[in-house]
Homo-oligomer: A and B are copies of this chain.
Amino acid sequence: MSYSESVHADVVAKVEVAIIGAGYAGLSAALSLVDAGIETIVLEGSDRVGGRTLSEVRPTGVVVDHGGQWVGPTQTRLLALANRFGVETFPTYWAGDHLEIWADSRVNRYRGAGPDEGDGLHEYEEHITVLDALASTIDLQNPPASPGADLLDDESVASYLRREVPNEGARRRFALAVEGVWACEPGHVSMLHFLFYIAAAGSFDELMETDGCAQDSRFVGGAQAPAIAAAAYLGDRVRLGHRADRVVVHDDGVLIETTGGVVRADRLIVTLPPQAAGALRFDPPLPPAKARFVDRSVMGDVAKVHVTYPEPFWRAEGLSGQATIYDERETGVVFDNSPNDASSGVLVAFVYGRRVDPWATLDADARRASILATLTELFGARAQEPIDYVEKIWSIDPWIRGAYAANPTPGAWTAYGEKGWRRPTGRIHWAGSETSSVWNGYIDGAIASGQRAAQEILDRRA
């Protein structure tokens, strides 16, 4: 049956390209298509745009980034988008000494890019060069075609580290790095994906560091601001409250059934996180390799907690506000997230991976008390007196269902990745940060993926 023959009383739009999801991938795809003069609609289930970015002006006047928040100098697509819409950046505050807490409550205080000494520090830094060398062998356009991909993909980062990094302190550092960057545990990620992700960012330090790296700068008005501006530019092409439920592919087009009615399109770009995309009902069903690569790409767990004080009091004590915590408590990493003018002091505490559930299922008072206890241990008694406290638990966000990104589990890339990663499925194209070869898992990768999916469609018309 052709879709022109199908009867749908509730068709609300007929366009050349429909896009599911109004995060950075969907909005960027739409911008590319609209800039090329192609009739496009963006279908967003929730009541907002921006996906995994969410900026809120708190009663204190402080803008809090509940989701993605940083931009680095090699994230040129995000910088260009922000520039297009006049959104400015400012450098992340990292002057002063950083702190580390170890399992025995020892606190290391150090300045600059890393401590001079500490548990397993030397072994950790030595092994980073090994990882960067391995990452340089990855085929970014087709990771399962990389040399030795089967062996790398068959094992988790945990089993790799156990064999290759005998020093326990170094392994603990890598475990926190996995939690901080991949938002899951070392046992959860394929070693091939771990290396691909490093390669897509440029290097291990690109992922981990602040100055000149992924955490270099922040956005005035928050990281959602460029998305909101892009959506305003796209106007009524962006339809909020249109949750896609079912996708029916016909010989001559695609019907997308949404809670706001049925949309007809020649082609469709799906930009949802993998398992959210997999929860759509596709008719005909997705081919097994696509379905299973999606099923095996699992979101990480993150909660971000912003705690605001009258001023960034730690700065006067020579502290940067950055801390890394190697014991088993809820908080893994703390950053200074104050506004650029330091008109108030904001600390953000990250809760990662397996630590999210035990903390998130406490009652609200206990959650707050545990976070403040950690901040107090780090920064002293003044941390007990915030003027604002707010949490965002991405694991229970009904639209995103986790954060930051989905990580393929061991064996997924090599069994299903070549066909299942981002190759178009007939009239369906695939975007979302997980489908990017550059800054995979980041806002910049989402933008790259949307632009690439749009280009696939433009190339067909050329």
Is A159 at the interface (CB under 8 A from chain B)?
A: yes
A187: contacting residue among B155, B185, B188, B401, CB under 8 A: B155
With most chain B CB atoms within 10 A of its CB, the pick from A155, A162, A410 is A410
Is A88 at the interface (CB under 8 A from chain B)?
A: no
Is A288 at the interface (CB under 8 A from chain B)?
A: yes
CB neighbours of A184 from chain B (8 A): 411
Is A415 at the interface (CB under 8 A from chain B)?
A: yes
Instruction: Determine the distance from Cα of A314 to Cα of B57 in the docked complex, in whole angstroms.
Output: 76
Q: Name the residue on B nearest A394 (C-beta).
A: B288
Is A299 at the interface (CB under 8 A from chain B)?
A: yes
Is A139 at the interface (CB under 8 A from chain B)?
A: no
In contact, B285 and A396 (Cβ under 8 angstroms): yes
Q: Quick check: which of A34-42, A122-130, A275-283 contacts chain B, the rest being far away?
A: A275-283
Is A357 at the interface (CB under 8 A from chain B)?
A: yes
CB neighbours of A187 from chain B (8 A): 153-155, 410-411, 414-415
Is A54 at the interface (CB under 8 A from chain B)?
A: no
Copy count, this protein chain = 2
CB neighbours of A2 from chain B (8 A): none
Q: Quick check: which of A63-71, A108-116, A290-298, A332-340 contacts chain B, the rest being far away?
A: A290-298
Instruction: Determine the distance from Cα of A409 to Cα of B409 in the docked complex, in whole angstroms.
Output: 7
Cβ proximity bits A416-431 to B, threshold 8 Å, 1 near / 0 not: 1001100000000000
CB neighbours of A151 from chain B (8 A): 162
Is A257 at the interface (CB under 8 A from chain B)?
A: no
Is A354 at the interface (CB under 8 A from chain B)?
A: yes
CB neighbours of A275 from chain B (8 A): 275, 278, 295
In contact, A396 and B288 (Cβ under 8 angstroms): yes
Is A6 at the interface (CB under 8 A from chain B)?
A: no
A181-198 with Cβ < 8 A to chain B: 184-188
In contact, B410 and A188 (Cβ under 8 angstroms): yes
A408 to chain B, nearest CB (A): 10
Instruction: Determine the distance from Cα of A414 to Cα of B156 in the docked complex, in whole angstroms.
Output: 14
Instruction: Determine the distance from Cα of A360 to Cα of B159 in the docked complex, in whole angstroms.
Output: 33
Is A289 at the interface (CB under 8 A from chain B)?
A: yes
In contact, A154 and B154 (Cβ under 8 angstroms): no
Is A235 at the interface (CB under 8 A from chain B)?
A: no
In contact, B296 and A415 (Cβ under 8 angstroms): no
A158: contacting residue among B361, B410, B419, CB under 8 A: B410
Is A402 at the interface (CB under 8 A from chain B)?
A: yes
Instruction: Determine the distance from Cα of A281 to Cα of B396 in the docked complex, in whole angstroms.
Output: 11
Is A412 at the interface (CB under 8 A from chain B)?
A: yes
A122 to chain B, nearest CB (A): 24
In contact, B292 and A185 (Cβ under 8 angstroms): no
In contact, B289 and A357 (Cβ under 8 angstroms): yes
Q: Name the residue on B nearest A397 (C-beta).
A: B285
In contact, B298 and A186 (Cβ under 8 angstroms): no
Is A59 at the interface (CB under 8 A from chain B)?
A: no
A296: contacting residue among B155, B188, B283, CB under 8 A: B188
Instruction: Determine the distance from Cα of A184 to Cα of B278 in the docked complex, in whole angstroms.
Output: 19
Instruction: Determine the distance from Cα of A250 to Cα of B410 in the docked complex, in whole angstroms.
Output: 38
Is A97 at the interface (CB under 8 A from chain B)?
A: no
In contact, B415 and A353 (Cβ under 8 angstroms): yes
Q: Name the residue on B nearest A161 (C-beta).
A: B154
CB neighbours of A319 from chain B (8 A): none
Is A89 at the interface (CB under 8 A from chain B)?
A: no
A231 to chain B, nearest CB (A): 24
In contact, A360 and B287 (Cβ under 8 angstroms): yes
CB neighbours of A415 from chain B (8 A): 185, 187-188, 353-354
Instruction: Determine the distance from Cα of A240 to Cα of B391 in the docked complex, in whole angstroms.
Output: 42
19 more A-B residue pairs beyond the given contacts A155-B156, A292-B402, with a C-beta to C-beta distance below 8 A: A154-B158, A155-B158, A155-B187, A156-B156, A156-B159, A158-B410, A158-B411, A185-B411, A188-B296, A275-B295, A278-B279, A283-B398, A285-B396, A288-B393, A289-B361, A291-B401, A295-B298, A295-B401, A357-B416
**8 closest residue pairs by CB, A with B:** A187-B411, A154-B187, A155-B159, A154-B158, A288-B395, A409-B409, A289-B357, A279-B279
Question: Can you sample 13 A-B contacts with CB below 8 Å?
Answer: A153-B187, A154-B187, A155-B158, A155-B187, A159-B410, A185-B411, A187-B415, A188-B410, A284-B396, A285-B396, A287-B396, A288-B357, A291-B402
